[in-house]
Amino acid sequence: MAWEELEIGDVVEFNKPHPSQTVTWELIRIGAKYKFRSTKIFDLFIELKRETINKQLKKIIKKKEE
């Protein structure tokens, strides 16, 4: 699983949970860093580098509907 497969709107699951126990995230921005919004808590965001995504990405749960 790699960052090249991700598109805006995808819902992903990471290996380690956030301290808020959130495991699933929605991709909202692609750039030098990728920005994700929590699917559990609306106002919670994280930004990850591509290298970190390659290590932490467990699976893509839902691809963006076209």
DSSP string, 33-66: EEEEEESSSTT-EEEEEHHHHHHHEEEEEEPPP-
What does the pLDDT look like over 2-58, one tens digit per residue? 778 889 999 999 998 889 888 899 999 999 999 999 998 889 999 999 999 989 999
Q: How far is the C-alpha of 54 from the C-alpha of 30, rounded, in Å?
A: 14
What's the pLDDT at 13? 93
pTM, 2 dp: 0.84
| Token pair recorded at residue 13 | 């699951």
What's the pLDDT at 1? 63
Indicate the number of domains in the chain. Answer: 1
What's the pLDDT at 30? 93
Of the candidates 64, 52, 57, the one whose C-alpha atom is nearest the C-alpha of residue 23 is 57
What does the pLDDT look like over 42-66, one tens digit per residue? 899 999 999 999 899 999 887 766 5
Range of the domain at 45: 3-62
